[in-house]
Amino acid sequence: MAKIRGAVVINTERCKGCELCSVACPQKVLSMNENVNSKGYHFAYMAVPDSCTGCESCALVCPDTVITVYRMKPKKD
Ligand code: SF4
Ligand code: SF4
C-alpha cells in the first residue's frame, strides 16, 4: 500500500513560534524558520516535507489554529 502523503500550510504571519507543533509532530517535519514574521516571531515551516503523513497532530495542538493540513491520495499508475 502506498504511503499517505500530507502537507501543511502555516499562516506564518499569525504564528507565534511557540514550537508546540514541532514537538507534537511524530515525523519531526516541522521546525522554526530562521527568518521572522512581521511581529518578530520565528515561524514554523516544513523542514522535512516528504515525511508528513497528514496526521493533523500539529494542527490540533496549535493554540492559534494557524495550521491547515492537507492529505494527498497516492497516485495510481
Ligand atoms: S500533519 Fe502530522 S506528520 Fe504532518 S507536519 Fe503535522 S504533525 Fe507532522
Ligand atoms: S503551534 Fe502554531 S503558533 Fe505555535 S509554532 Fe506551531 S504554527 Fe506557530
Cα-flanking dihedrals φ and ψ of residue 59, to 5°?
A: -65, -35
Cell reading at 35: 527568518
Per-domain residue ranges for the chain? 12-72
Q: Of 55, 53, 56, 34, give the one whose Cα is nearest residue 45.
A: 34
pLDDT, position 24? 98
Distance 71 CA to ligand 2 centre (A): 19
Distance 63 CA to ligand 1 centre (A): 15
22 Cβ inside 6 Å of ligand 1: no
Residue with cell 520565528: 42
Q: Where does 1-77 show beta strands of DSSP type E?
A: 5-10, 30-36, 42-46, 67-72
Ligand closest to the CA atom of residue 11? 2
Name residue 29's amino acid: V
Report residue 4's pLDDT band, with 50, 70 and 90 as the boundaries. confident
Model pLDDT for residues 33-55, shown as the tens digit of each residue: 999 999 999 999 999 999 999 99
**Report field, pTM of the whole predicted structure over 0.75:** yes
Candidate from 19, 32, 53 with most ligand 1 atoms within 8 A of CB, to mutate: 53
Cell reading at 4: 499517505
Distance 41 CA to ligand 2 centre (A): 10
CATH of 12-72, one of 3.10.105.10, 3.30.70.20, 3.40.50.11540, 2.115.10.20: 3.30.70.20
